Structure 1
Amino acid sequence: MADVTLKQIAEIAGVSAATVSYVLSGKRKVSKATELRVLSVAKQLNYSPNLFAQQLKRGESFLIFALLNTYSSSFNGEALQKIEHSFEEKGYRLLAMTGGLDDIIRTNIFDGGIILNYHTTKQEIQTLEESTGKPLILLSNQSNQKNTASVIMDNFGGMKLVLAEFAKSEHQNICFIQGPEGSYNNTSRAESARYFYKELFQRDDFDIRLYRGNFVSDESYKLAFHLLKNKLYNAFVCFNDSTALGVYKAAYELGIQVGKDISVAGFDNTSYSEFVSPALTTVDVDKDLWAKEVVKNYLALKDRSIETNEVKIPASLIKRGSIKYKSI
């Protein structure tokens, strides 16, 4: 439809013509929801007098969706920023979404996508790939489905580093605070913790030491307050940094000093972990390397040079002041 105007797109999308212009030219940032709505309308109307439509006619939009469970996660935000930059270097735009898989299948404007910390089953991944035929990169799941690649953190190696530190700690009455059910990272970290706890501490009581904080600071705070008040544990292995933040808050309110009275470690090395007091010992992953591997594997899938792949990004331990060690 050659006579479609920006004004017509704007009316259907419920935005101004200027906003439509910003979205189609990429010259100014608008909200992700607005961007998606405008691009979807433009495609439906077959808007043509610009590069965007020329790309769509060739079957390319240079848009990549990033599906995540929440925008509020510090780790999600930091990882996405790195990934977005790496995609932009290759001429792609990243659009973060928290909607369901049906939204992606229905709009059908993306060249491919990444799934980060979003609970999906293998069947859902298969359905998404078969419905779109586009490359998928999984950052928190494993799959050998064709046209997919998993670029994941080495949770096994990371948990080994954490528990090796607690083996040297003065505090060895350990509590494990895990994330939500259905989370790949949580399951992987729990299995790894179980293995290394038995190997390093020669104990079989892991299950009674495992609690659920759902990767949320508030829930972890309430749990930790109860555990600390009743003096049940003096060491806390937290399956992400938000969980550790909840333990810190509970300890502070009870007059307990982290790194002296109790030991705490986190996972993910989020930006705030070095600014709490004492700074949090936590597992890190090179987010720049992770982002580059995401884009590298996406392009390899797109070019059909690989059909499927799995890459594990090595973990390292950032040692700070939240673990009290045995006196030598």
Structure 2
Amino acid sequence: MGLDEAAQKPHDRLNAWLAADMAAVDEMIAARMVSQHAPRIPQITAHLVGAGGKRLRPLLTIAAARLCGYEGPYHIHLAATVEFIHTATLLHDDVIDESTQRRGRPTANLLWDNKSSVLVGDYLFARSFQLMTETGSMRVMQILSNASATISEGEVLQLTAAQDLATTEAIYLQVVRGKTAALFSAATEVGGVIAGANDAQVQALFTYGDALGIAFQIADDLLDYGGSAAQIGKNVGDDFRERKLTLPVIKAIAAADAEERAFWDRTIAKGQQAEGDLEQALAIMARHGAMEAARADALAWSAKAKAAIAELPEHPIRGMLSDLADYVVARIS
């Protein structure tokens, strides 16, 4: 089940609990994406922001701040900052991947052009830094600027690791921390920092976001081979056709015999794919238990996320965050 499908799932309950704050975040996003001199900026931003999505990252910031007892205004700034960083990375990713569709709608680079997408992404990064400075917290700025650097570093690493059969699980994890977990962990961490939480609580929130992001990404990787088009928002097997070295494939390659390695070399490294190759890839992964091993990894990261927040103040939000960690991997159970 995709994260958007059913009512009253953990993220839905969080949204309902924090509805007033999330409405304020939406208002701030709308106000700050305006450009007086370049109307294309709000056009492109509104197209992507208006496509919907879970708003999970800003929701995590608001949840972390409220869980730690915050009553001030700046969690709204930080949630909008996190969403701007996320939106900027989506604009850049669609250009890099030459994507034509996101969330069921044509991508900005298709409707406008690559140059506009890259430049508007840059603008949103700049806007995010303007927003975070308004909090007056050097620690917050350090966390979010470090996360932005990690995201960019992860994207470059993914380019160099793509289609390289020597890519290890450690490299995969580094890529996932860049492309997904870095912003999850920054989102939760800054919520605790702005609330004045103690160091142990802030570390717990960081660990929760990091582990949640990794579990989330591994689950997505698994759904590409074992889910449905409705669950993943794209065609099943797209990662294989795009020659992406995701965790189940990396595990299968590590256990491959000479014949299987030749198959992965042809289909992934060289991109010479034929009818029936996806089914053969699935058979090889099944032979080595690669899908089950990756699933076990995702469940372990989910458990780590839940354990991290167990020591935080008892609060309905804590329970919802714990349920969310279960839910991101329930899709692969």
TM-score range, shorter chain: under 0.3
Q: Which has the higher contact order (CA 8 A, sep 6+)?
A: 2
Alignment TM-score, normalising by the size of structure 1: 0.26
Between Structure 1 and Structure 2, which shows a larger proportion of helix residues? Answer: 2
Q: Which of the two has greater strand per residue?
A: 1
